[in-house]
Structure 1
Amino acid sequence: MPLKNRAVSHLRLRGAYLLFVVGLLVLSAMAASMAVAVIQPETGVQWNTRSGRVTAVSGPAADRAEVRVGDRLVKVDGLSLPDLPNAGHSKRPGDTLSLTIDRDGERHTVSLTLQPAAPSTVGERVIPIAIGFGFGLIGLGAYVLSRRRFPAALLALECLVVAGALAAGTLSTFKIPLASRLFNASLVWVAVLGMHLHLVFPTVHSGRAGRTIRRLAYGLAGLFTLFFLFPAWSVWRWQPWYPGLQWGIQLVLALSLLGQIALLVRATRSSRPLARRHSRLLTAGAGLGVAPFLLMALLPHLLTGSPWWPYQYTFPFTLILPLAYGYALSRERLSRWDRTISRVLTVFCTAILLFGAFGLAVQQLEPPAIPWLRLHLQSAILALAAGLAFWPLARIARRWTEWILFDVRYDYAGVMAALSEPLARTLDRPRLRYLLVETLAQVMPFEGAALLLGREEDESLCLQPPATLPAESYPPLPGSGALAAALVVQDGPLTAAELDRRLAGTSLLPAEAAWLHGEGIETLLPLVRENELLGLLLLGPRAGGDVLDGEDRRILQAVALQAALAAENVRLADGLRASRSELAQAHGQLLAAREEERRRLGWALHDGPIQDLLVISHRLAALETEAEEHTQVLVELRRAVVSQVHRLRELYAELRPGTLDELGLCQAVRALAIECEETHGFSVALDVHGNMAQMSDEAEVTLFRTAQEALANAARHAGAKHVRLAMMCDGQGVALTVVDDGQGFRVPGRLSTLARTGHFGLLGLEERLERLGGWLDVRSRPGAGTRVQAWLPIEEPR
């Protein structure tokens, strides 16, 4: 592959050099043509170069020479007319021209003073040069936009040769021999390059027949070029067989044109949708390029004897032809302009039809007997009729242009009708996957699709099986990596190649690289809502090798907005279902725990203090009459009663911390820290500031329980050595922070998830804090310790 890539790069570099050299030569020829067209004087007399008949007379010089329409010129400055396409080829303004005129069988000679070319004449002369400049510019632009593809290089070379032919043709009208040679040679090369272009675009014909045609065409072009550039050409052109050579050139042009048409027709029957679409686009471009000439000049001329528009003013519309080819070759880079181009084509087609019909109707309604006012009234009526017909014709033209540019199998309205309402009603992941992976892929269509959605446990996106792309073995996509960051800011779809270029030089995680360069993944459609990546739709190749155009991107962008909203609804519904399940489980376990606690306390009180106190009671009753004789027994009974009192106090402390009532929150927390140091063996750094006197009784109990639970977790689960406990009051509320250096753990997205594994402590504290207007924040990760932070507002004094 590296050797092949180097060979391709070398060929592209050589092609770029060739275009650069040809471009410089063509630019020089156009500059010379422009200079000659501006400087060359005009005679004011136009005649047929074959018959010599004068067809038009204009200007005072021709009037003074008494040259009339219908005269036949025999000689100009003593030269016969076939040798003189333009009589003023070597003269300057102010020089005289000797004309030998045959009028009614009598010959006489007149002198004609040459005049500087009028602006209108100069404009008509430079029209071919301007068209040639447009051809060259369009060809080079398409070459650059298509990233120097070979068909685009052929188009650019052909456009440059067309530009050179137009420049040489302009110079040849002023009897410059080399220009005439270059013009004829350029025509042959235009035919050959056009044939070669259609052999590789829109479909590639790489078989034996295609190679044979290319070899014959280039060999024929080489022979013609050698003939026209041979020094003896100036002698050969007067030989009797030379007109046959001109017919040969015309035959080559005709055969090339027929061959190109046949290849386009064959492409319209291709099995590849992209080739069919390109062939329609090229055919439409050719038709639109000649439509003004046919409808506004040639057809009115044939029907009425004069064109509606001058012929020369319809020639610039031929630039539509290279524009169509350039757009087809560069469509991937210009697809965002598809809608604009569709509107422009719609208006252009409608306007050409209406202008042609309007002009033809005006010409038909212009007999000399009609008064001036009546003529203009009829013209106004025709203009009104054309205006009324514009929108109906525009609707027809719009359907026609959309059939050419896009695909009639689906449109924006159809896709949105199939997906919009189902997406709005989607509340579960399987349904969302079905709509995006299967329904969308069938409607547009794509050869495969896969959907990634966010997980509850972390920020990553995981595959929703089954997928129609080979992506089952890929790991979850990190939600906080470089790839996700690039997708969040993307508005609409983008190809994997485009995203790869954007991330060039960026270090990607293995999971990110797997999804970016995955097999069959060509287009990525991020589902983003409020700058959060909720999901990612991966699309495979288009059916038949088609590419995304502007309409496809617009459809996918709208689908992404709807799908992002659906993904948000699915996430909320998942959270609600999980919360309800967790709440039901927690409620059941809470009831069981309450019953167990009641049972434990009941048995503890029944088997312990109660039984002992009953025994004490019986023994005391037996000693009522013998108290003095049993002093030692009474002492033991007293000790037993004291012991049971301590036991009952311990049970009471488990139900409610008594130090809160006796010492207050701050001292109770200090006592708790000292007890943990003595009981569990880790150090507690205590930091308490502020006045907590305004805290309610329930708030004090809640904060104390939070500190108690955090310290207990640090001892039981974290294996901490050092704990920092801080409690501060800022006048608005009390913040409690417990930080340990233990082993840490992965905190789930919702603390209610811990209830599934039987851990209710933090969940219960979070609910109690939120009920009092506060919050609980738990942050931890494996190997990095744990931080538990709680906050409660201070009650307003009453």
Structure 2
Amino acid sequence: MDVRLLPQHWRTASAKWKRSAYFAASLLLATLTLASLVYAAVLLWEEPYTGLRWDSRSGLIYAVDAGSPAAQAGIRPEDTILLVNGVPFSRVRSWLRTREGKMEVTLTLERAGQFMTIPLRFAPAPLGLRVQRLVPLLVALVFWGISLGVWAFHHGHRVTRLFFLASQVTAALLATGSISTVYTQYVPWSRMAFSLLLPTVAPLTLHFFTRFPQEVPRGLRQRMVFPAYGIALLLTVVTLLSYGGYISPEWPHQPLNRVYVATVFILALFVVLRRWEDATLQVLRSRRLLAMGMGISITPLLFLSLIPDTLLKAPLVDYTWTFLFLTAIPVIYAWALRAGELGTVDWVLSRTLAHLVLSGVFLLIYLLLFLWVDDLVPLASQTSPLIMAGLAVTAAALFAPTRRYLLHLADRFLYGGWYDYRTTLQALSQKLRGVIRTEDLADLLVDQLSEALRLRGAVLLLVDDGHLVPTRAIGVFARPLPPPLPARGNVGKWLMRANKPITPAQMRRALAASELTPAEAAWIHLSDAALWLPLVHGGDVKGLLLLGTRISGDPLEPEDLLLLDILAAHAATATENIRLVENLWARVEEVKQLYAQLAKAREAERKHLARELHDVVLQDLINAYVTLDQIMTVPDSNTEEQRQW
């Protein structure tokens, strides 16, 4: 039935009922999730202690804590558990507590081909171990609390709803997973709940990423999300049938769940990292933030626990502590959902991820070489200290350039090179060497630099008749500015002595006791100015570049200030070159004008001589010629006297 055909008051009531139902369902979900967390925390806190660590598939004991109940009972590493209270180990889900509450079990072990039966009594767990057990629940609590807070502030937004649902399901998944690993036999619903929640969290995560940070085209989104939800529903039904006894227990529904979840998460990662068309700066920053957050949360788990455990058969850091880094995921995602305010966090995450990755890689390589150096290098036992020292020096020398290259690759991959402004600054410095026109200088220092640093504005002042005069201003500075700044005043002299990037606050503190002209006072109190770059060459101030704040609010690193300082030095040299070139062109124009005047004078003199010859001398000659011709051609008048004449 079309709701639009209902009366207006019915439609209003229906909308209110839907909002109320959604609100109540969300609060109910949050309450149930919190209840599962509390229940899991109580169970894990009261879990008894044996001091054994074993392979859950084979029963092989690989560690026994010194002084633990297992050590006191005579159990050793490399023993294999065969029976627990007479039940084969492969059929025992949990044996840390019996249904009758007894704190003792009987283990049948195999040791060096011999079989033995050992009674094992349990003991209360030490405080440190109890806290360590609660770490996964702490991660779940962070997911629960942050998602509830985001939902409470903006519960009507579609992206917020998806974030809330995915986080709540993740928290419940961690809670039921913690229970099922220990108390499956006595909390039978925990394993089934875990198996049902596992395929549910994957399509919710994929759906969230198709909406944020950039909305995927509707058709493509439906082709990805609908099949994901359909397969999750099918796996849920199979799980229910399996636990209900309608499907053989041999049916591999759990491996299918894991394969499905891994596939969907890979697809979600592709959606996050893919560069969609028409991505805005805000979208790129959010995408970068999400990617960096995932990297920070997963990198310690990989390099400190998973990879060393795979290669060395033991993690460098226990999984429990690297698991804590997963709390970065809801924190960063919640921050990314806030429009804007991504600059500082994005900057910190980018650098932190680079340091974590590099530290993990270098530590892993160093550890592997340390373990295998005897096999790789002959006579290593005698030269081992020197080799280790050389490796440490090499790692320290390669850290900084590798870090810069890694940051460059990250910016290239996540922004397509658009965000790598340091490369742009270096390119601008190269271009300044060939600048010979003021217009080109203003274009580089104002337009292109503002675009590279994502500034709210910039203004360039150049010296003209003893004053720093605004040459070009854009952004927030494209407004009436104070009068020209005296180049030889107190501000100009201080800029010449400083000759480095400085903030307006530093300027005001340094010149607090100086007498300033109204123009100088107006300039040092100019709003929106975040950084002053004096252009000093040969002991004189050639210009001044004022930079506004960055659009994102990002801070400038010391490395950025160093690059800007170098850029200012090149710009000052370019300004002096422009002055020299302009003077040269002025001289050339002067010479051209003198040459033109000389040519004009020569032409005038030539015309004057031509006119004189034509009007006087030439006329006299013609008259004389005509007269002589007349005399010579008349026979009767050719007297001797006339011919002589």
Q: Same fold (TM over 0.5)?
A: yes
1:252 is the counterpart of 2:260: yes
Q: Which residue of structure 1 aligns with residue 56 of structure 2?
A: 49
Which of the residues 391, 395, 403 maps onto 2:404?
A: 395
Q: Which residue of structure 2 aligns with residue 771 of structure 1?
A: none
1:101 is the counterpart of 2:105: no
CA contact (8 A) 1:92 1:114 kept: no
Aligned-partner Cα distance in 1 for 2:452–2:60? 66
CA spacing shift, 1:530–1:91, aligned 2, 3 Å: farther
Q: Which residue of structure 1 aligns with residue 294 of structure 2?
A: 286
Which of the residues 411, 416, 428 maps onto 2:421?
A: 411
Q: Report the 3-state secondary structure (helix = DSSP H, G, I; strand = E; otherwise coil) of the residue aligned with 1:268.
A: coil
Aligned-partner Cα distance in 2 for 1:326–1:400? 26
Q: Deviations over 1:118-167 (max 9, x none)?
A: 34533442232222233334545666788974334323321222221111
Aligned-partner Cα distance in 2 for 1:303–1:254? 22
1:198 is the counterpart of 2:206: no
CA contact (8 A) 2:454 2:551 kept: no
* Deviation of the 1:332 alpha carbon: 0.7
Q: Which has the higher contact order (CA 8 A, sep 6+)?
A: 2
CA contact (8 A) 1:41 1:92 kept: no
Q: Which residue of structure 2 aligns with residue 178 of structure 1?
A: 189
Which of the residues 305, 318, 321 maps onto 1:310?
A: 318
CA spacing shift, 1:366–1:205, aligned 2, 3 Å: same
Counterpart amino acid of 1:26?
A: T
Counterpart amino acid of 2:408?
A: R
1:150 is the counterpart of 2:158: yes
Structure 1, unaligned stretches of length 5 or more?
Answer: 423-427, 452-463, 470-475, 480-490, 493-526, 536-546, 563-798
* Deviation of the 1:240 alpha carbon: 2.8
Q: Which residue of structure 1 aligns with residue 124 of structure 2?
A: 116
CA spacing shift, 1:298–1:363, aligned 2, 3 Å: farther
CA spacing shift, 1:450–1:96, aligned 2, 3 Å: closer
Q: Report the 3-state secondary structure (helix = DSSP H, G, I; strand = E; otherwise coil) of the residue aligned with 1:364.
A: helix
Which of the residues 23, 32, 35 maps onto 1:25?
A: 32
* Deviation of the 1:87 alpha carbon: 1.3
Aligned-partner Cα distance in 1 for 2:26–2:331? 18
1:211 is the counterpart of 2:218: no
Q: Report the 3-state secondary structure (helix = DSSP H, G, I; strand = E; otherwise coil) of the residue aligned with 2:109.
A: strand
Aligned-partner Cα distance in 1 for 2:97–2:330? 33
Aligned-partner Cα distance in 2 for 1:436–1:9? 57
CA contact (8 A) 1:42 1:116 kept: yes
Q: Normalization by structure 2: what TM-score?
A: 0.58
Aligned-partner Cα distance in 2 for 1:288–1:403? 19
CA contact (8 A) 1:93 1:114 kept: no
CA spacing shift, 1:192–1:5, aligned 2, 3 Å: farther
Q: Which residue of structure 1 aligns with residue 42 of structure 2?
A: 35
Q: Which residue of structure 1 aligns with residue 587 of structure 2?
A: none
CA spacing shift, 1:530–1:548, aligned 2, 3 Å: closer
Counterpart amino acid of 2:421?
A: D
Counterpart amino acid of 1:395?
A: R
Q: Which residue of structure 1 aligns with residue 631 of structure 2?
A: none
* Deviation of the 1:281 alpha carbon: 4.5
CA spacing shift, 1:396–1:16, aligned 2, 3 Å: farther
CA spacing shift, 1:75–1:326, aligned 2, 3 Å: same
Aligned-partner Cα distance in 2 for 1:432–1:148? 50
Q: Report the 3-state secondary structure (helix = DSSP H, G, I; strand = E; otherwise coil) of the residue aligned with 1:333.
A: coil
* Deviation of the 1:223 alpha carbon: 5.0
% identical equivalent positions: 22
* Deviation of the 1:196 alpha carbon: 0.9
Q: Which residue of structure 2 aligns with residue 80 of structure 1?
A: 88
Q: Which residue of structure 1 aligns with residue 277 of structure 2?
A: 270
Q: How does 1:361-440 map to 2 (within 5 A)?
A: 361-365=369-373, 382-383=391-392, 385-400=394-409, 403=412, 408-409=417-418, 411=421, 414=424
Aligned-partner Cα distance in 2 for 1:534–1:70? 70
1:549 is the counterpart of 2:552: yes
Counterpart amino acid of 1:180?
A: R
Counterpart amino acid of 1:34?
A: A
Q: How does 1:202-601 map to 2 (within 5 A)?
A: 202-222=213-233, 224-225=235-236, 234-236=243-245, 240-264=248-272, 267-268=274-275, 270-274=277-281, 275=283, 278-330=286-338, 332-365=340-373, 382-383=391-392, 385-400=394-409, 403=412, 408-409=417-418, 411=421, 414=424, 529=523, 548-551=551-554
Aligned-partner Cα distance in 2 for 1:88–1:360? 37
Aligned-partner Cα distance in 1 for 2:374–2:42? 41
* Deviation of the 1:64 alpha carbon: 4.1
Q: Which residue of structure 2 aligns with residue 132 of structure 1?
A: 140
Q: Deviations over 1:235-293 (max 9, x none)?
A: 529x534542213212321331232234345x325342545555455444434433333
CA contact (8 A) 2:53 2:63 kept: yes
Q: Report the 3-state secondary structure (helix = DSSP H, G, I; strand = E; otherwise coil) of the residue aligned with 2:83.
A: strand
The structure with the largest alpha-carbon Rg is 1
CA spacing shift, 1:121–1:331, aligned 2, 3 Å: same
* Deviation of the 1:188 alpha carbon: 1.1
CA contact (8 A) 1:71 1:102 kept: yes
CA contact (8 A) 2:139 2:324 kept: yes
CA spacing shift, 1:200–1:111, aligned 2, 3 Å: same
* Deviation of the 1:324 alpha carbon: 4.9
* Deviation of the 1:548 alpha carbon: 4.2
Greater Cα shift, 34-43 or 318-327: 318-327
CA contact (8 A) 1:146 1:329 kept: no
CA contact (8 A) 2:214 2:279 kept: no
Q: Deviations over 1:554-594 (max 9, x none)?
A: 99xx9xxx9xxxxxxxxxxxxxxxxxxxxxxxxxxxxxxxx
Q: Report the 3-state secondary structure (helix = DSSP H, G, I; strand = E; otherwise coil) of the residue aligned with 1:75.
A: strand
Aligned-partner Cα distance in 1 for 2:384–2:39? 46
Q: How does 1:660-679 map to 2 (within 5 A)?
A: none
CA contact (8 A) 1:26 1:163 kept: yes
Q: Deviations over 1:192-220 (max 9, x none)?
A: 11121122233323434533543343344
Q: Deviations over 1:358-387 (max 9, x none)?
A: 3333333589xx999997887666555544
Aligned-partner Cα distance in 2 for 1:10–1:400? 51
Number of matched pairs:
473
Q: Which residue of structure 2 aligns with residue 721 of structure 1?
A: none
CA contact (8 A) 2:293 2:349 kept: no
CA spacing shift, 1:75–1:185, aligned 2, 3 Å: same
What is the CA RMSD across the aligned residues, in angstroms?
Answer: 5.5
CA contact (8 A) 1:142 1:330 kept: no
Aligned-partner Cα distance in 2 for 1:140–1:359? 42
CA contact (8 A) 2:296 2:352 kept: no
Q: Report the 3-state secondary structure (helix = DSSP H, G, I; strand = E; otherwise coil) of the residue aligned with 1:256.
A: helix
Aligned-partner Cα distance in 1 for 2:220–2:197? 25
Structure 2, unaligned stretches of length 5 or more?
Answer: 1-8, 433-437, 460-470, 483-502, 505-520, 530-549, 569-645
* Deviation of the 1:397 alpha carbon: 3.9
Aligned-partner Cα distance in 2 for 1:138–1:360? 39
Counterpart amino acid of 2:226?
A: R
